[in-house]
Amino acid sequence: MEVTNITEYQAIAKEKLPKMAYDYYASGAEDQWTLQENRYAFSKILFRPRILIDVTKIDMATTVLGFKISMPIMIAPTAFQKMAHPEGEYATARAASAAGTIMTLSSWATSSVEEVASTGPGIRFFQLYVYKDRNVVAQLVRRAERAGFKAIALTVDTPRLGRREADIKNRFTLPPFLTLKNFEGLDLGKMDEAADSGLASYVAGQIDRSLSWKDVKWLQTITKLPILVKGVLTAEDARLSVQAGAAGIIVSNHGARQLDYVPATIMALEEVVKAAQGRVPVFLDGGVRRGTDVFKALALGASGIFIGRPVVFSLAAEGEAGVRKVLQMLRDEFELTMALSGCRSLKEITRQHIMTEWDASGPLPAPRL
């Protein structure tokens, strides 16, 4: 059966993967309210398309932190990709490079920064968890720099791991043939089996709960790489991110895997964009499954979006070819949405191209011709 949209990969992945692996990728925290909301919230935003505009040529190219990419669709960090497919992060890196976009490698990848760099050219960011042992962090950041990674995405929403009940039920642990490749030499690469979730126990033992804004400053003393703060959901923290010297903000609720009942990221986006006041770019991750979703995020002020689960599900289904297809399908849908909305370049996508429930209180702003 031909796959015609990226959501269809999830069912294929569910059939192919062991239950423990599929549940790890698919599930959210506690009641999974935010998990459903991340998707559902997009349906509350409608289009105001402009007609009779020459859309013969559509340009989706953009720059992120000065790097030119083919489209504002990038790959979010997701852990343990070799649990989905033997080629894991190698396949994802090659697919991102072929699509002319950015891949973010997880700290908890099953391939090291050096291995991913060896796949060939490409613009890559490195997602960082801050360990209690700061020497480990400094070493890891240096390795990412040496391997040619261009930015650090600092995850700030995980002082403790969210309660993911599927992982507790399954007693989740990394399969014996896999390790956290970036930590192998540091005796931090293995995850022990635990009475609940092996990952939750690992996080409790290794990740620094004391992480604070001063550490964002500290990170800037050990690296020249730009730092994206990943996990911002409020105007207050957007302002603090800018003050702390962040080069950008990723509006993220960790794929609804941390605190349940936080809003969908698309609902938090505009508040964060307004607080950032154009001083740094704001990106979105969480719930993007259609080109229409990408357009809606950009109309609300995002500079680009990141996809996570679609990557691991397509990887499980078809390896590198699956990830390539996901990126191509999203690109094609986004291009079509732009054309049908009357936008020929990203800068032509405006707030006037969408309407939301919370706009209804007053008259719509006068259209710009």
Q: What is the pLDDT of residues 30-54, one digit of tens each?
A: 999 999 999 999 999 999 999 999 9
Cβ proximity of 290 and 263 under 8 Å:
no
Residues 237-285 pLDDT 10s: 999 999 999 999 999 999 999 999 999 999 999 999 999 999 999 999 9
Residues 138-177 pLDDT 10s: 999 999 999 999 999 999 999 998 999 999 999 999 999 9
- 252 annotated as belonging to a binding site for a ligand: yes
Give the closest residue to 139 by CA, choosing from 79, 186, 205: 186
- 202 annotated as belonging to a binding site for a ligand: no
- 308 annotated as belonging to a binding site for a ligand: yes
Task: Name 18's Cβ contacts closer than 8 Å, sequence gap at least 6.
Answer: none
- 285 annotated as belonging to a binding site for a ligand: yes
- Look at residue 192 in the predicted model and tell me its pLDDT: 66
Give the closest residue to 86 by CA, choosing from 314, 307, 315, 322: 315
Cβ proximity of 272 and 234 under 8 Å:
yes
Residues assigned a catalytic role: 254
- Look at residue 196 in the predicted model and tell me its pLDDT: 65
